[in-house]
């Protein structure tokens, strides 16, 4: 099982890889400033789609951005 410290490091690494250092920091600061209820966001913030449809849309977006996933 991953420790909380390892989880945080992996999460920050993923954010930085996806958004860049400055935008990742801005994201973390925005989340920390606001009262954030992940469970409520998950219920309201995600489209009512199956996991297969979400994956298909993510793959389509990735292909349109010419993003190469790491193996």
Q: What is the pLDDT of residue 18?
A: 93
pLDDT per position in the chain (71 positions), as tens? 889 999 999 999 999 999 999 999 998 888 888 777 777 877 777 677 888 888 888 888 888 887 565 55
Is the distance from CB of 11 to CB of 2 less than 8 angstroms? no
Structural domain spans, the chain: 4-64
pLDDT at 40: 80
Residue 17: what pLDDT?
93
Look at residue 71 in the predicted model and tell me its pLDDT: 55
Tell me the C-alpha distance between 52 and 58, whole Å: 10
State the pTM of this model.
Answer: 0.48
């Amino acid at each position: 099982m991953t420790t909380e410290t390892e989880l945080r490091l992996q999460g920050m690494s993923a954010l930085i890889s996806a958004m860049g250092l400055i935008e990742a920091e801005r994201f973390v600061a925005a989340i920390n400033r606001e009262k954030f209820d992940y469970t409520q966001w998950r219920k309201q913030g995600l489209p009512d789609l199956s996991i297969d449809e979400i994956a298909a849309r993510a793959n389509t977006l990735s292909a349109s951005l010419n993003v190469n996933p790491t193996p």
